């Protein structure tokens, strides 16, 4: 179907909203990322994006950035997510739009959060605002896929991540390796990208074997941004207390079946008897409001998520190494939806539909 000139203009300005919204990735939890632009006679006269929870929403910043508020009555407001209609830490954006008498509001997608869920659109229409929704809807939902998964599936958005060799191994047999340390499979560029990813997700999970063998920090060092919440599954409560996970640099959760376990600088969460530990982790994270989770564990933990179908995205690096034998890489039946090359390393992105 060929787009009309008006539809092309709507998509152009909605694209700018999405571009602005991405500036807030990893910084707005538990709120979604939102961008907004004010358009008068096909010219942007105001724009903004949501920067952090508790601060002004994108619509407020965009409206306040307009120098001549008299123009608002003849302007269109574009926003990638339905304006809120409830009082939270800030007043409803839909109410501000009403007060400013903005003529038309163009929305990317409806907000499925129960406090909004169409109420913002209903409020606007009731006051005579012309509302158009569904412009770049797929792209708008994709941008806030963590937020939508959390509210619609009642669990975090789950990203599996690992690196494999050319012959399909994620690690050597450590008893054969010098110093018992992991052998790098990817290059420095790929490792820095992983640290960028950590800044954009709320939590990161490993198993006890990875914690013991690798002693990882699981913090952000190759990029600037917030550290994710560190989570380790230690079913038997046997981890040594001097691991880097317990250094106090970032919030740390330990899930265990051992009620006598205690680690410094961490919160211990008991897994009830006869409970699947992955289900227990996801239920707890939902209750804590944690909307996204990177799983960076070993093959046992990764395969557990895969076997249960509890994943949304997988990011798999392939390096130029050959191990011949070792720890076998997990295998996905899905076909990759995206491929990127980083020097001698490749990245394959998978989606679980």
The residues assigned a catalytic role are: 59
What residues have CB less than 8 Å from 326, skipping those under 6 apart? 169, 170, 171, 172, 173
Six-digit token string for 179:
């110093």
| Structural element, H or E, at residue 131 | strand 130-133
Q: How far apart are CA 186 and CA 180, in angstroms?
A: 18
Helix, strand, coil % (nearest 5) of the chain? 35, 25, 45
What residues have CB less than 8 Å from 181, skipping those under 6 apart? 214
The DSSP secondary-structure symbol of 205 reads E
Phi, psi for 76 (deg, rounded to 5):
-105, 140
Q: In what order do the strands lie in the sheet with 130-133?
A: 43-49, 35-40, 76-81, 104-109, 130-133
């Amino acid at each position: 179907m060929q787009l009309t000139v008006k539809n092309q203009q709507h998509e152009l300005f909605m694209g700018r909203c999405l571009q602005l919204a991405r500036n807030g990735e990893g910084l707005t939890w538990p709120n979604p990322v939102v961008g907004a632009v004010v358009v008068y006679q096909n010219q942007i006269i105001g724009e903004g994006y949501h920067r952090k929870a508790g601060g002004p929403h994108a619509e407020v910043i965009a409206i306040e950035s307009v120098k001549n508020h008299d123009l608002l009555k003849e302007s269109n407001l574009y926003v990638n997510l339905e304006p809120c209609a409830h009082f939270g830490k800030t007043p409803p954006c839909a109410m501000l739009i009403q007060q400013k008498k903005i003529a038309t509001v163009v929305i990317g997608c409806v907000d499925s959060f129960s406090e909004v869920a169409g109420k913002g659109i209903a409020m606007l229409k009731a006051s005579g605002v012309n509302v158009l929704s569904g412009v770049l809807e797929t792209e708008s939902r994709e941008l806030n896929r963590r937020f939508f998964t959390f509210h619609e599936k009642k669990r975090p958005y789950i990203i599996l991540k690992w690196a494999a060799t050319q012959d399909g191994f994620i690690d050597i047999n450590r008893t054969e390796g010098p110093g018992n340390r992991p052998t790098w499979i990817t290059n420095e560029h790929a490792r820095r990208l992983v640290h960028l990813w950590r800044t954009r997700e709320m939590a990161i999970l490993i198993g006890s074997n990875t914690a013991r063998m690798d002693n990882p920090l699981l913090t952000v060092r190759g990029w600037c941004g917030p550290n994710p919440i560190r989570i380790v599954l230690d079913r038997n409560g046997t981890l040594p207390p001097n691991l880097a996970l317990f250094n106090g640099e970032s919030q740390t959760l330990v899930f265990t079946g051992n009620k006598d376990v205690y680690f410094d600088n961490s919160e211990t969460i008991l897994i009830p008897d006869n409970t699947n530990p992955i289900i227990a982790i996801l239920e707890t994270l939902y209750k804590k409001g944690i909307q996204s989770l990177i799983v960076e564990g070993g093959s046992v933990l990764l395969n557990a998520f895969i076997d249960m179908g509890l994943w949304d995205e997988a990011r798999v690096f392939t390096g130029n190494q050959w191990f011949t034998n070792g720890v076998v890489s997990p295998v996905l039946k899905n076909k990759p939806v995206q491929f990127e090359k980083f020097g001698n390393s490749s990245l394959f992105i998978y989606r679980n539909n």
